[in-house]
């Protein structure tokens, strides 16, 4: 059996999005900036996509900027708010310790340029509170940037409340909503969001395309200079097939959000219930405030990469919190931020499912994971020491 359980990494493209992309390549190949009919036809297609996406987010079409993806949107939002703040003498930013690296590395860059960053503690449950955000605010705070849902553990932050305290103090609020969009209801107005980043390939759209939402009045500084595309804020001829494919994919998931959420969270709950039965295992992140499809566990006495590879051999595509596979040997910064010790953070497993998965697939996962954990523990000297009491169990 082949089971794809790594939807937080990326998703397969939906048939509707794929068909839309082919249609655009065939019939909407014009440059939207051209004055002739073929160009204007493409411009209309582009506008249609912008309108669809704006409606899904409850935003205005003039607040939607197409980018190359979530990372670019994150970079532009944070750097723009920082630049705006700097012009007013404000050089303090509030964020969390477990943001995506597109945010963390941008913040590191700003730190080198003299900005001061407050990284809020995310506690053992992977959540911050609006009160904690408020308490960290200063006269010179230029931006609050907090992710909507965490990519490794799936916890959902109280975005609306955080947005409200930012609005109250007049501090711009950005949220990296890459993991949330298309999976839970996001409303930029009700959620008090000033900037939002999203990426199409996380909701069955194409890769290499995303959106930066910037509320009216929020100033944007360009990362890419050139033509006057995207209201002069992002140069480069628009990738109509990708943009239109993204719009179709987003509309599809937004139209079916409730049923998808219900189906996927029921499957997720089976995963949580069954994997929790493995001795000395722990679910990472709050049990309730989480995405419908993301589950992250730590298993004591084993290492994540070997678990992943053995799951892969059984046809299960999953991922590890451990950055082992991505070239770094350090354990996940997210799990360390939750306070997991290094040796436990090494033994993590992320399963991210969505509405393409079936219960049969989930049952297959819950059958295989315990077998492999057991096998790896049997050949692990750490597990032997834990069992003999020579080493203390942490979880």
Partner 1 sequence: MLYSEKVMDHFQNPRNVGKMEDADGIGEVGNAKCGDIMKMYIKVEDGIISDVKFNTFGCGSAIATSSMATEMIKGKSIDEALQLSNKAVVEALDGLPTNKIHCSVLAEEAVKAAVKDYYDKNNIAYDKELFKDDVHNMNEHK
Residues with active-site annotation = 324
Select 205 or 321, whichever has its Cβ closest to partner 1.
321
Sites for partner 1 among residues 173-212 (CB under 8 A): none
Q: Is 346 in the site for partner 1 (CB under 8 A)?
A: yes
Nearer to partner 1, 201 or 377 (CB): 377
Query: Of 121, 279, 379, 393, which one interacts with partner 1 (CB under 8 A)?
Result: 379
The DSSP secondary structure of 196-222, one letter per residue, reads: EEEEGGGGTS-SS-EEEEE-TT-----
Choosing from 303, 348, 350, 368, the residue that interacts with partner 1 (CB under 8 A) is: 303
If one asks whether residue 342 binds partner 1 (CB under 8 A), the answer comes out as yes
By CB under 8 A, tell whether 324 contacts partner 1: yes
Q: Does 392 bind partner 1 (CB under 8 A)?
A: no
Residue placing its CB nearer to partner 1 in the complex, 243 or 308: 308
Cα dihedral sign, 328-330-333-334: positive
Scanning 39-47, 70-78, 167-175, 335-343 for contacts with partner 1 by CB under 8 A, the matching segment is 335-343
Chosen residue from 114, 170, 327, 389 binding partner 1 by CB under 8 A: 327
Residue 147 burial (CB < 10 Å; 0-12/13-18/19+)?
A: buried
Residue 305 makes contact with partner 1 by CB under 8 A: yes
* Nearer residue to partner 1 within complex by CB, 83 or 387: 387
393: contact with partner 1 by CB under 8 A: no
One of 115, 301, 338, 355 touching partner 1 (CB under 8 A): 301
Q: Which residue of 309, 315, 359, 367 would you call a contact of partner 1, by CB under 8 A?
A: 309
Q: Considering the complex, state which of residue 241 and residue 331 has its C-beta at the smaller distance from partner 1.
A: 331
Chosen residue from 283, 310, 317, 336 binding partner 1 by CB under 8 A? 310
Give the residue, chosen from 124, 161, 274, 343, that forms a contact with partner 1 under the rule CB under 8 A: 343
- Count interface residues toward partner 1 (CB under 8 A): 27
Residue with smaller CB distance to partner 1, 35 or 329: 329
Q: In the complex, what is the shortest distance from the CB of residue 281 to partner 1, in angstroms, rounded to a whole number?
A: 16
Tokens, residue 30: 């014009």
381 contributes a contact to partner 1 by CB under 8 A: yes
Residue with Cβ nearer partner 1 (236 or 341): 341
Decide: helix, strand or coil at residue 283.
strand
Q: Is 192 helix (H, G, I), strand (E, B) or coil?
A: coil
E-state strands within 34-169: 64-67, 92-96, 116-120, 141-145
Residue from 115, 203, 299, 383 touching partner 1 (CB under 8 A): that is 383
Binding site for partner 1 (CB under 8 A): 301-306, 309-310, 313, 322, 324-325, 327-331, 341-343, 346, 379-384
């Amino acid at each position: 059996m082949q089971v794809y359980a790594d939807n937080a990494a990326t998703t397969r493209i939906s048939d509707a999005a794929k068909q839309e992309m082919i249609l655009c390549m065939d019939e909407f190949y014009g440059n939207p900036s051209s004055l002739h009919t073929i160009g204007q036809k493409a411009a209309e297609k582009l506008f249609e996509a912008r309108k669809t996406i704006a409606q899904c987010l409850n935003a205005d079409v003039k607040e939607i900027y197409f980018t190359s993806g979530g990372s670019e949107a994150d970079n532009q939002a944070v750097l723009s708010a920082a630049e705006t703040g700097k012009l007013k003498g404000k050089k303090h930013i509030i964020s969390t310790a477990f943001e995506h690296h597109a945010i963390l590395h941008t913040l590191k860059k700003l730190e080198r340029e003299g900005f001061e960053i407050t990284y809020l503690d995310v506690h053992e449950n992977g959540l911050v509170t609006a009160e904690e955000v408020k308490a960290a605010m200063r006269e010179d705070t230029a931006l609050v940037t907090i992710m909507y849902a965490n990519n490794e553990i799936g916890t959902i932050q109280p975005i609306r409340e955080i947005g409200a305290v930012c609005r109250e103090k007049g501090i711009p609020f950005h949220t990296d909503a890459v993991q949330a969009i298309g999976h839970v209801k996001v409303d930029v107005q009700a959620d008090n969001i000033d900037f939002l980043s999203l990426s199409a390939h996380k909701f069955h759209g194409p890769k290499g395309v995303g959106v930066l939402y910037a509320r009216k009045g929020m100033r944007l500084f360009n990362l890419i200079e050139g033509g006057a595309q995207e209201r002069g804020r992002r140069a480069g001829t628009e990738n109509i097939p990708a943009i239109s494919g993204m719009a179709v994919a987003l509309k599809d998931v937004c139209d079916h959000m409730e049923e998808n959420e219900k189906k996927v969270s029921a499957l997720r709950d089976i995963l949580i219930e069954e994997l929790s039965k493995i001795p000395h295992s722990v679910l990472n992140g709050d049990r309730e405030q989480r995405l419908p499809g993301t589950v992250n566990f730590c298993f004591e006495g084993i290492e994540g990469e070997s678990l992943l590879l053995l799951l892969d051999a059984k046809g299960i595509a999953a991922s590890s919190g451990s950055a082992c596979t991505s070239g770094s040997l350090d354990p996940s910064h997210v799990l360390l931020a939750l306070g997991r010790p290094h040796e436990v953070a090494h033994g993590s497993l992320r399963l991210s499912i969505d509405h393409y998965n079936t219960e049969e697939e989930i049952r297959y996962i819950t059958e295989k994971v315990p077998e492999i954990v057991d096998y790896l523990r049997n050949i692990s000297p750490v597990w032997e020491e834990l069992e003999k009491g020579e080493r203390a169990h942490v979880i």
